[in-house]
């Protein structure tokens, strides 16, 4: 698989092509300054700066204008976190290996900071979930749910249909040989509760970075209200407040629930909210 990046270079555009299989970048400069790529005599340099004209005049024949091609060693640190194929997280005394699939499944197959922050919050406050039934909405890769299971909760992680295979395989890979209680079940906010059946009453509902798409707000609110029918059900949501619409969701949630900020991770700009149905 090739991924192509364009960077402005000295004489034109530097094309970086990353070869996933050979783990290296091939680079070449494509001349965008010259309008005509004929002989040296016929080159049109009207669009070039004076500095480029001077440099071009020093070129000795067509051979000197040949684009360069070189293999650059692959640098893992330059790859964005969501584009990495595999990531590892050490949480609560366990190492979780997560395969990501950004290009095929998008946000559902990537570990976002909100999931890590919520997992860390659960580790620090394990009494909130230990020995309790926990349901995760929009579980994605299931990292937060698996951490909850490792802390002694009985966990159900949920996702939409197209992300279920990836979610289940990730859980199976990380929980093999362990006695954790965790299962995966499809739950589509758009159709719940009519088509997804009823979930047993939960003690705790968790969700990491699930309020970023405004078009889903109505469905998500309905789903939360259907699942959290009593005042005893505790909801924990983690999110990054990116836009006014995120605040709008919290405002809508406050119409029927008490919402309290319990953590602000300044470094990652993530907040955790405790949510309880209003009496």
pLDDT score for 143: 97
Helix crossing, 164-175 with 143-150: angle to 10°? Answer: 30
Q: What is the CATH number of domain 82-277?
A: 3.40.50.150
Angstrom distance (rounded) from CA 135 to CA 145: 8
Q: CA angle, 128 as apex, 109 and 184 as ends, to 5°?
A: 35
Closest CA to 56 of 75, 70, 73, 41: 41
Residue with token string 């994605």? 140
Q: pTM surpassing 0.75?
A: no
Per-residue pLDDT of the chain (279 residues), as tens digits, is: 444 444 444 334 444 444 444 444 454 444 444 344 343 434 444 444 444 444 444 444 444 444 444 454 544 555 667 778 799 999 999 999 999 887 877 788 889 999 999 999 999 999 999 999 999 999 999 999 999 999 999 999 999 999 999 999 999 999 999 999 999 999 999 998 776 567 888 999 999 999 988 999 999 999 999 999 889 999 999 999 888 888 999 999 999 999 999 999 999 999 999 999 987
- Which of the 8 DSSP states describes residue 200? P
What's the rounded Cα separation, in Å, for the pair 211 and 235?
14
Distance CA 173, CA 98 (A): 9
Domain ranges (residues) in the chain: 2-78, 82-277
């Amino acid at each position: 698989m090739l991924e192509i990046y364009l960077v402005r270079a000295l004489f034109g555009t530097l094309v970086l092509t990353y070869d996933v299989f050979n783990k290296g970048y091939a680079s070449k400069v494509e001349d965008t300054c010259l309008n005509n790529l004929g002989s040296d005599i016929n080159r049109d340099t009207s669009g070039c700066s004076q500095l480029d004209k001077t440099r071009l005049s020093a070129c000795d024949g067509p051979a000197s204008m040949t684009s360069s091609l070189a293999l650059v060693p692959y640098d893992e640190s330059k790859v964005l976190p969501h584009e990495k194929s595999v990531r590892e997280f050490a949480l609560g005394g366990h190492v979780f290996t997560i395969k990501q699939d950004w290009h095929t499944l998008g946000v559902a197959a990537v570990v976002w900071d909100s999931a890590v922050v919520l997992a860390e919050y659960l580790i620090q406050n394990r009494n909130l979930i230990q020995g309790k039934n926990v349901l995760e909405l929009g579980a994605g890769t299931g990292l937060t749910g698996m951490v909850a299971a490792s802390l002694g909760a009985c966990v159900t992680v949920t996702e939409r249909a197209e992300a279920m295979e990836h979610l289940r395989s990730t859980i199976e890979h990380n929980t093999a040989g362990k006695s954790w209680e965790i299962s995966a079940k499809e739950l589509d906010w758009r159709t719940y509760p009519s088509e997804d059946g009823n979930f047993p009453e939960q003690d705790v509902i968790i969700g990491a970075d699930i309020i970023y798409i405004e078009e889903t707000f109505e469905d998500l609110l309905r789903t939360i209200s259907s699942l959290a029918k009593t005042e005893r059900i505790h909801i924990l949501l983690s999110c990054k407040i990116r836009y006014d619409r995120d605040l709008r969701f919290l405002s809508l949630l406050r119409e029927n629930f008490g919402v309290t900020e319990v953590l602000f991770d300044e470094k990652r700009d993530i907040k955790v909210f405790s949510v309880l149905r209003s009496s």
